[in-house]
A and B are shown apart, each in its own frame.
Chain A
């Protein structure tokens, strides 16, 4: 994947379908009040899509991550979440605990 055509694929399959939402955001958002009802709904939809992406990356992960057993992956997410809630909403602490849980869990239960 290093011929010129691969860059065309990058633009068509990667850049454009992603960047279009940013352009639409500029067009759409210039006249909108941040507190309006439609923005509230659009943001809820966006957060839900993001939740879908999070769930998909955890439950149907890319190659290397798929080697870690599913219960370890979901357990690690749960551990990170609990840590985040207990430790004054610290993202860093939550991420570190989730990562540690993943590595230790995978080492114990791994293939």
Chain B
């Protein structure tokens, strides 16, 4: 049986389902897919920005590396580092981080059906769940259907480790370069997060309800934030999400003749 010599990022053949060490191979393929993804470029830039931000606000290298490993969500890390760095109490930072993390719940929910056989094994799902962040999620949803069902968790973990390796390297790079980075370049790196998130989510939004939720959130979010409404992110999510869902239901009701 032929084994592909190089690790291609988008396995399309069914040859992947070959005997013994396939879980290891699925992991390796996922790892390579993570490292060679276009999104790992964006991720590298984003985490260079986070490393340099942490250095500027007086955090240690091992602390910011630990934050990349444990938090593994760029907006949460930007919020955490800038809040703590500005002297906000940890409780306030925790609330802001918690609100930005709500999006992870449905991302994990949407990923689970794709992980196949081991769905019932709670412990086996915790690692893929931890790796779930915008970059891993987008690539997993795109690549998993071509991976053999039995090895999807291994592939997903490989993908996460590939992206994580890239992000850890970038965090350290940004931390050491911070002093040399021109201010404008550092600003451009931090700007990668909002731009790439907006476009990656838009690319994955095939349904009207998803696009509406995005557009309404972009309008309602700033209104609530500038009005200094407490827990503005939570209310943005509930208001804009529910409104988008209502439009989706109304459209469905009109589309189906009684």
Could you tell me which A residues sit within 8 Å of B by CB distance? 1-2, 6-7, 9-26, 28-30, 32-34, 39-65, 67-68, 73, 76-77, 80-81, 84, 89, 91-92, 94-95, 98-99, 102-103, 106-107, 110
Contacts and interface: CB of A to CB of B under 8 A. Distances in A.
B129 A56 contact: no
Interface string B95-130: 101111111111111111100000110100110011
Contacts of A2: 59-60, 62-63
Contacts of B32: none
Interface residues of B, number: 106
Contacts of B239: 48
Contact of B70 (A14, A25, A61): A14
A99 B188 contact: yes
Interface string B59-99: 11011001100111101111011101100001101110111
B241 interface: yes
B187 A64 contact: yes
B184 A22 contact: no
Interface of B: 38-39, 41-42, 52-53, 56-60, 62-63, 66-67, 70-73, 75-78, 80-82, 84-85, 90-91, 93-95, 97-113, 119-120, 122, 125-126, 129-130, 132, 183-184, 186-188, 190-203, 205, 209-210, 212-218, 220-222, 224-226, 232-234, 236-242, 244-245, 248
Contact of A12 (B90, B112, B215): B90
Contacts of B199: 80-81, 84, 91, 94-95
Contacts of A89: 202-203
15 contacts: A2-B62, A14-B97, A17-B95, A18-B73, A22-B130, A29-B109, A44-B212, A47-B205, A49-B233, A52-B236, A54-B198, A63-B56, A65-B187, A67-B183, A102-B191
Contacts of A17: 94-95, 97-98, 101
Given A17-B97, A50-B201, A60-B225, A32 B102 contact: no
Given A20-B98, A26-B125, A68-B187, 9 more contacts: A26-B129, A29-B108, A41-B242, A43-B210, A47-B201, A52-B232, A55-B217, A64-B52, A64-B186
A34 B109 contact: yes
B33 to A, nearest CB: 16
B217 A51 contact: yes
A95 B192 contact: yes
A22 B104 contact: yes
A25 B221 contact: no
B66 A53 contact: no
A49 B242 CA distance: 12
Contacts of B187: 64-65, 67-68, 102, 106
Contacts of B183: 64, 67
Nearest to B197: A54
Given A29-B109, A54-B194, A102-B187, A91 B203 contact: yes
Contacts of A13: 80, 84, 90-91, 93-94, 97
B186 A54 contact: no
Nearest to A15: B70
